[in-house]
Amino acid sequence: MKKTTLPKVVACLENMSPEITIPEDLAVRARRSVQRMIEVG
């Protein structure tokens, strides 16, 4: 696994690259989990 560094994160946010795509069913489940965490506080 590659090491994530702050300069790499900055470059990613500035260039919006590389793009990561995930299957829709996984996105729905992940979104639901995050929404529950937000509701809890």
Domain range list for the chain: 6-40
Confidence grade of residue 20 (pLDDT, cut at 50, 70, 90): confident
Span 16-36, average pLDDT? 94
pLDDT tops 80 at residue 1: no
Tokens representing 7 are 């300069």
Give the per-residue pLDDT at 35.
97
Tokens representing 23 are 């299957």
pLDDT tops 80 at residue 10: yes
Question: Which residue's structure tokens are 């809890």?
Answer: 40
C-alpha distances in Å from residue 15, one per residue of 3, 5, 9, 10, 18:
19, 16, 10, 9, 8
Query: Considering the chain, what is the average pLDDT of its residues?
Result: 93
